[in-house]
Chain A
Amino acid sequence: MRPFDYVRARDIAGAVAAAAEPGAAYLAAGTNLLDLMKGGVSRPTRLVDITRLPGLAAVTATQGGGLRIGALARNSDLAHDQAFARAYPAVAEALLSGASAQLRNAATAAGNVMQRTRCPYFADTASACNKRRPGAGCEARGGETRLSAVLGWSEHCIATHPSDFCVPLVALDAVVEIASPAGSREVPLEAFHLLPGDAPERETVLEPGELVTALRLPAEAAAFAGHSRYLKVRDRTSYAFAVVSAAAALRLDGPRIAEARLALGGVALKPWRARAAEAALAGREPDATAFRDAADAALAGATPSGDNGFKIELARRIVARALTLAAAGTPERLPALPASAFAPIPGAASP
C-alpha cells in the first residue's frame, strides 16, 4: 500500500471537505477498499475514516412509511434484524448470501453498494483495463470471460457488479442519499451505477468527494413482503460470488399478479432491473408460462461478451425459479438459508 494520510472525520461536512482533495477515499469497514489497496488497484493518498460519523449506522422508519438504512449499518445487523427481514425478506436473503459471516459483520450498507467489480482483469494490475486506466483497453475481451457480463456491456468493459444486496434493492426502488460539498442530493439506485459505455472508469454518478449517507426504501417496498425471494447460483455452496442471481417480488391481487419486481445480479456492471419482465407479468396469473415469458423478456437484449453464453440461459432459468419461489410465498423462517435447496434430507435419499 502507498502511504496515506489518515483523517478521522467527525461530521459529514468535515468528511466531505477532507475527501475533496484528489487521491482521497472514504474508509468505512474497508473490506473492499483494503483488498483493492493490497492488490495495488486502489492507491489512495488520503483515507477519510467515516466510521465515527454520528447517526450513520441507524436504521430508521421514514415519515412516509419507508425505511432509511444508514450508510454504516452493518450487513449482518441489517439481515439479522427480524423486523427488517420480515418487511424486506429478499434483501435479507441477499445480504446473507454475500461473502462470509465475518465480512458481513464488518461490511457496511453503503460499502456494499460502492464495491468494485470482481473482474479478474480489473483486479490484476498487469492486465489492461479501461476502468483502472482509461484508454488502456479491456484485456478481459477474448480472455477468461466465463463470468463476464451478458447485459449492458460495451467493447470497453465486460465486467459485472458483484453485489447481492443491490439486486433486491434496485427491484424495490431504493434511493441513494448523497452528501455533497454543495449540500445533499438523492438518486434512484437504478440510476446510481453506470453502465460502461465508452467510459467504464466512471462507475457511479458520485462526483469527487461525494459521500453516500443512506439508502432509502420507499413505503411500497414492504408491500411485496409476502412474496419476495433472492436466488443466487454460484460455483460453490457458499462464500462465492454469484454466477447469476435474481431478486423477485410479487404483489398478488387474488389469482393475479398486481405488480412484479425483478432484478438480476452478476449479469451487468450494475444491478439489472428487468422492467420489461415486470411489465410482462402484470395482470398475469403466477404460473410457469408467465414466468418463462418474464424470463425471456428479462434476457431479451442479452448477448455473450465471450465464452459465457450459458449465463443467458442460466439467467432465464434463475428468473423463472426466483419468480416461482416468490409466488410460493416468503418462507416461514427468515432469512431462508441460502443453501437450503441442498439441505440434507433425514434418512438420506432413496430411490
Chain B
Amino acid sequence: MSIDIVLTVNGTRRTIPIADPRVTLLDLLREQLGLTGAKKGCDRGQCGACTVLVDGRRINGCLALAVSLDGADILTIEGLAQGEALHPVQAAFIAHDGFQCGFCTPGQIMSAVGLIREAQAGDDPERVREAMSGNLCRCGAYAGITAAVLDAQRAVNQGEAA
C-alpha cells in the first residue's frame, strides 16, 4: 500500500508516493528523486556523507524514514547554489581545497551549512572541528574543511549583516 507524503525538496513542494515504508530519506533522494549528491558511505549514521538539511537542521539521511518526514522541508546539495552562483560554503571548499575525492563533500558542505545556522561554534577552530566531526573524510582534507567553514561562516554572517 503506497502512502503519499508531501515534501518540499530544494524549494519545490511535491507529493511523493512512498510504495514501501522501508525507504529512508537518503534512498528516496538517491534512487527515486534522482538527487544523488547525498552519498551513502555507511548507511548507519557513522560517516555523515548523507547529511542533508531537514527543516533547516542537518541530519543523517540514512537514518530517517522518508514516510515519517511527511510535510518536511528538505535541502540537499543540489539546492544550495543560486543558479550559477555558488553558496559561500561551496566556494570556500574549492578555495581551501576542502576535499580530494569529493565523495564526502556534499555531506561536509551540508553539515557546514547546518553548523553555520546553528551558530554554536563561533569562530573558534576547535569548536568548528568538533562540530564537523560527524563527517568523516578518509582522504584527510580536514585542514581545508575547517578553514573553509570558518571562512564561509564569516562570509555568510557578513552577508546577513549587510
A pairs with B: yes
Residues of A within 8 A of B (CB): 1, 3-6, 8, 27, 29-31, 34-35, 38-39, 47, 49, 51, 76, 80, 99-103, 105-106, 237-239, 337-340, 343-344
List chain B positions with a Cβ less than 8 A from chain A. Answer: 3, 20-22, 24, 43-45, 48, 51, 57-60, 62-65, 67-68, 70, 111, 114-115, 118, 120, 124-127, 129-135
Interchain CA distance A343-B70 in the complex, whole Å: 41
Chain A to chain B: the 4 pairs with minimum beta-carbon distance, closest first: A100-B134, A238-B133, A6-B21, A105-B57
Given contacts A4-B21, A35-B63, A237-B133, contact A100 B48 (CB under 8 A): yes
20 A-B pairs besides A27-B65, A239-B133 with CB distance below 8 A are A6-B21, A6-B65, A6-B67, A30-B65, A31-B60, A31-B63, A35-B44, A39-B44, A47-B65, A99-B134, A100-B133, A101-B115, A101-B134, A102-B45, A102-B48, A103-B45, A105-B58, A106-B64, A337-B126, A343-B126
Which DSSP category, helix, strand, loop or mixed, fits chain B's interface? mixed
Q: Are B126 and A34 within 8 A (Cβ)?
A: no
The answer to whether A105 and B114 touch (CB under 8 A), given A3-B22, A34-B63, is yes
Task: Give the distance to chain B from A42, nearest Cβ to Cβ, in Å.
Answer: 13
Establish whether residues A105 and B126, one from each chain, have CB atoms under 8 Å apart when the complex forms: no
Contact A34 B111 (CB under 8 A): no
Asked if B22 and A105 sit within 8 Å, CB to CB, the answer is no
Find out whether the CB atom of A1 lies under 8 angstroms from the CB atom of B22: yes
For A35, what are the chain B residues with a Cβ–Cβ distance below 8 Å? 44-45, 63
Residues of B within 8 A of A3 (CB): 20-22
Known A-B contacts A99-B134, A103-B45; A337 and B22 likewise in contact (beta carbons under 8 Å): no
A27 x B57 contact (CB < 8 A): no
Closest-CB distance, B30 to chain A (whole angstroms): 16
B130 engages A339 (CB within 8 Å): yes
